[in-house]
Structure 1
Amino acid sequence: MASISTYVRDYGNKTFFEEPFNEIDNVVFSSLIYLNYEGIVPENRKYIRLEEAGIKYLEKYSYFEISKLGIAQKVSYQLLKQVVNTVRYKGVLMYNFKYIADSDRQFGAVCFKVKKNFTYVAFEGTDNLLSGWKEDFELSYKFPVPAQTLAIEYINKRVRFYDKNVMVGGHSKGGNLALVSSMFAKKLVNKKIKKIYSNDGPGLRKAEIESDNYKRVRDRLIHIVPNYSYIGVLLRNDKFKVIKSTRRDFMAHSVSTWQTDGTSFKEASLSKISSNLRESIILWLDEHNDEQRRKMIETVFEALEKSGIKDTNDFFNIKKSFNIVKNIRNVDDETKELVMSLIQFNINYLIENS
């Protein structure tokens, strides 16, 4: 089955003049930002060719090191190895790299100068840090979350008057950041944005999706989700392009499973389980206010932090996993009931509608 790797193999020898930028190129660039180019890609407008940046990165880090970070990083590392010497990508210029990761925030962004008059701004999705996953869940009750604030600041500061045509994109949470940053881009910056790509990114709360800021960018938004989406259907989304994945589980979120057909993705219909999940989450959100959502999420993540969970790898530690259960049991009855209601609600809804 053809994949992004197949596309790079078949079209990597063509320039962007010979074969125009397409939705698969968008996913390539939104994947490459999962790698930390600190000390390699300049934090200002001093350019470095993707070829040079890629060679330096691959010399600095081994696949074994990167594989410990998570699935997205492994896929991105392999993709970088493949694109680094291709005619299509090696001459792309990288600049304005930004990376922040602490207990409260997880944010990454970089600019790709694809052609003289065309820039792609890529925002990183959630990596393996607990702070990033916490922000994802905070999207249900809080706006803006820290990463959204950073994305808005980034696009307004880094897109300049000599950037003629701009596309903004990201995978997972990065897709949400691409959308939100475009919604709050200054007037002159907003005019430059031609397309916004959210690649299986979570949606918005009701207040934001009904706002004028969203309405002014909606027609430029391309929201790509796999047919077995579990992330892209979270919160509210009012437009999708559904594509075919080789997987029916959470791995469908990985771009490595997305099927291609020439210069585009294979289209599909949203699976029943993803459609039902989307509806069940919206119903649950409608039944609980922001304060109830906040209390539940803060309680869960406090239990995770008390259990010594710092990143997703810690979930495979038996002792730490046992501590999670113990700490959840110790919360007050009202919050425990709220947590269980979300779990039970989704299980019941999926069973009833399967």
Structure 2
Amino acid sequence: MGNIMDYISWRGDLSFAQSPFNEVDNLILACFSYVNLDGIPAVSGQKGIELKKLVKEFKKLHTIKELEADKSFIRLAPFMMFEMAKSVRFGKCVIRNYVNEIVTEAEQQFSAVEIVLDDGTSYISFRGTDDTIIGWKEDFNLSTGVVPAQERAVEYMQRISDKAYGMLRVGGHSKGGNLAIYGSVMCKSAHDKILEIYSNDGPGFSKEFQESPETAEMMPKIIRIIPEYSIIGTLLEHEKQPIIVASTSRGLLQHDGFSWEVQGPGLVRRDSLNKTALRFIEILHKWIDGIDTEQKRLLIEDLFATLQASGYENLSEVQSGGIKSLAAMVKRLDKFAPESRGMMQELLTAICGGWLEQLQENTKDKLSAIPQSFSDKILEKF
């Protein structure tokens, strides 16, 4: 089995005329939006720039050493772009209408790009969140109502669809998948131009949005893909049944699209979600269903303050921190009121469950560093 980088190597010599657009192409183009294209003026205009030329401009601004210093999963996106530019399949793509807006104090970010393929169709790629704790918090915040990034997605879809001369595919990974669906559904004038809408482990929506006539109209075009250990992609309401795929990573890190397994022109299937992911979904709905928006905000603040107590910025670092980071998070739980402590303990156990089994195997003799009640709860899970 391989991943999307291997796919470019294996099948990059096939044009879209020879091999039609598929779900792996979608994942590649969804992850393309993670590349930071700031500082390249041509990419922001309607005319755009061919991918091969774009790579040359990008390399003038960024060194390999700088790119390799990035420790998040999106660090692979520029290297994927380099391989795409060498291929027959993607080399002649035109990249245009790039936008990147960040409001740090509001923990908000919106970025999107249009990728015109050589068959005349376009893929509108909405950027998602990376594996930073703040990024995951942004995904969870979607449960508290319509966010500015969703409104911007509608505006972006309107602008692109008005000028598009070919049919459109729309997609994104993580929050980008949510924006792809929301922007497509709410931009009614684009409905007839859209071929497919891809949500790659993207959060869901409110029940009201799911039941709207606009959503019902576009539902047949929505393709939802999640890994077998999916947390972000199971948040909120989902009407569309997902395609469940295999990943080479464990636990939380399966969110990384670069870890999804590829065979030929498709993603490797799994029959069902991982039991630990299912447990998290059960616990999350147990605590969130029925509480008001302000209570949700407080819950999200508490959960992510606990994760940040590990001392790390990225979830991959939290996981690699092992027993030390887990002990720091558990210590943070002592600050909660008794009625909240049990809830946060359950959520933390569930959200970290994908890597606790390995942690148990490697550090069983060190579990005394963690309060007994919590370590017992961890061990019960396995």
Class of the TM-score when normalised by the shorter of the 2 chains: 0.7 to 0.9
Deviates more, 1:126-135 or 1:210-219: 126-135
One-letter code of the match for 2:248?
Answer: T
**Cα–Cα, structure 1 residues 324 and 262, in superposed 2: closer, same or farther, change >3 Å?**
closer
Matches within 5 A, 1:45-194: 45-103=46-104, 104=106, 105-115=108-118, 117-127=120-130, 132-142=135-145, 144-185=146-187, 187-194=188-195
**Cα–Cα, structure 1 residues 64 and 237, in superposed 2: closer, same or farther, change >3 Å?**
farther
TM-fit CA distance, 1:189: 1.1
**Cα–Cα, structure 1 residues 347 and 288, in superposed 2: closer, same or farther, change >3 Å?**
farther
One-letter code of the match for 1:165?
Answer: M
TM-fit CA distance, 1:78: 2.2
Q: Which residue of 1 aligns with 2:13?
A: 13
Matches within 5 A, 1:291-306: 291-298=294-301
2:247 pairs with 1:245: yes
Work out whether residues 45 and 95 of structure 1, in 8 Å CA contact, stay in contact via their aligned partners in 2: yes
Q: Which residue of 2 aligns with 1:204?
A: 205
TM-fit CA distance, 1:245: 1.2
Deviates more, 1:98-107 or 1:204-213: 204-213
Q: Which residue of 1 aligns with 2:374?
A: none
CA distance in 2, matches of 1:65, 1:330: 39
Unaligned runs of 5+ in 2: 354-376
Give TM-score, length-normalised by structure 1.
Answer: 0.85
Give TM-score, length-normalised by structure 2.
Answer: 0.79
Identity %: 30
CA distance in 1, matches of 2:333, 2:158: 41
Question: Cα deviation per residue 1:256-278 (whole Å; 9 max; x = unaligned)?
Answer: 22111211111112222223322
CA distance in 1, matches of 2:19, 2:127: 26
CA distance in 1, matches of 2:314, 2:2: 30
Give secondary structure in 1 for the equivalent of 2:195: strand
Higher helix share: 2
Deviates more, 1:104-113 or 1:71-80: 71-80
Give secondary structure in 1 for the equivalent of 2:86: coil
**Cα–Cα, structure 1 residues 339 and 154, in superposed 2: closer, same or farther, change >3 Å?**
farther
TM-fit CA distance, 1:5: 1.9
Aligned length: 347
Q: Which residue of 1 aligns with 2:277?
A: 274
Deviates more, 1:271-280 or 1:253-262: 271-280
Work out whether residues 17 and 119 of structure 2, in 8 Å CA contact, stay in contact via their aligned partners in 1: no
Unaligned runs of 5+ in 1: none
CA distance in 2, matches of 1:64, 1:324: 33
Q: Which residue of 2 aligns with 1:30?
A: 30
Question: Cα deviation per residue 1:85-141 (whole Å; 9 max; x = unaligned)?
Answer: 111111000000000122221111000011353110000011366664442121112
CA distance in 2, matches of 1:301, 1:250: 14
Give secondary structure in 1 for the equivalent of 2:2: coil
One-letter code of the match for 1:168?
Answer: V
Q: Which residue of 1 aligns with 2:363?
A: none
Give the alignment's Cα RMSD to 1 decimal: 3.4
TM-fit CA distance, 1:182: 1.0
Q: Which residue of 1 aligns with 2:226?
A: 225
CA distance in 1, matches of 2:316, 2:252: 19
CA distance in 1, matches of 2:153, 2:74: 21
